[in-house]
Chains A and B, each alone.
Chain A
């Protein structure tokens, strides 16, 4: 069964971003984007002042990249 998503379409990009996120990987184009680093948190407030773990940081990157599309 093939995916009926045109290459280079917005859906194609979203699909691969989500697929990478599901595997816990950050898509390569995001890794290379200078913009993403500037919009990520320098500091954040959590209920008990704890650090975010890597998985949560990856989820946040995914969330912000979708918000900023």
Chain B
């Protein structure tokens, strides 16, 4: 089975629409937990051991009303948890319609569902949710504003070493990991991919 046919521009548009709908003020960090619980009315749960037992950081329920995170991750790694929440919301925004049409209709079907999705299609679905999460937690406009404040310009294709001192506080400002900031800077063409 193939996944939803989405391009980067579709994911970018969906992320921008999401921010326009739920966080017009542009304050940082993006309050993803509050948006999910209070504006989208999705219940957030933390339950123990889904990471060590099953390798899952977070999941969104099949009826898209509950979002569950690993309790230990929630307590110890808030930035990773915020990204996981944004990632699952990405699935809701981008893939709910596809899942409703193509998803399993009973539990027996559910057990076989992962095998029915083409591996490459599954990988793209995950990349789309990941991209959405990065764009929502580190919005392009706000990332560029932070750089302009520091440098008076928007750098292009610089080496990470050249910008390291300037961007070192961005993970704290956006409340995401260093790796997320690095990927976003690469995606926006601010630093080189292969440095």
Contact = CB atoms under 8 A, between A and B. Distances in A.
Contact of B130 (A33, A49, A54, A59): A49
Tell me which of B47, B54, B57, B66 has the highest count of chain A C-beta atoms within 10 A of its own C-beta: B54
A31 B91 contact: no
Looking at chain B's contact residues, the main secondary structure is helix
A39 B57 contact: no
B116 to A, nearest CB: 11
Contacts of B54: 52, 56, 59-60, 63
A41 B61 contact: yes
B63 A39 contact: yes
Contact of B114 (A26, A36, A51, A63): A51
Contacts, number: 102
A45 interface: yes
B165 interface: no
B104 interface: yes
Interface string B146-161: 0000000000000000
A43 B127 CA distance: 13
B57 A45 contact: yes
A53 to B, nearest CB: 8
A28 B67 CA distance: 26
Q: Which 3 A-B pairs have the closest CB atoms?
A: A41-B59, A44-B59, A49-B126
14 contacts: A38-B65, A41-B56, A41-B60, A41-B68, A42-B95, A42-B99, A44-B57, A45-B87, A46-B56, A50-B55, A51-B117, A52-B55, A61-B107, A67-B47
Interface of A: 26, 30-31, 33, 36-47, 49-54, 56-61, 63, 67
Interface of B: 47, 49-50, 53-66, 68, 84, 87-88, 91, 95-96, 99, 103-104, 106-108, 110-112, 114, 117, 119, 122-123, 125-127, 129-130
Given A38-B61, A45-B129, A60-B56, 7 more contacts: A31-B106, A39-B62, A41-B56, A41-B68, A47-B55, A50-B55, A58-B111
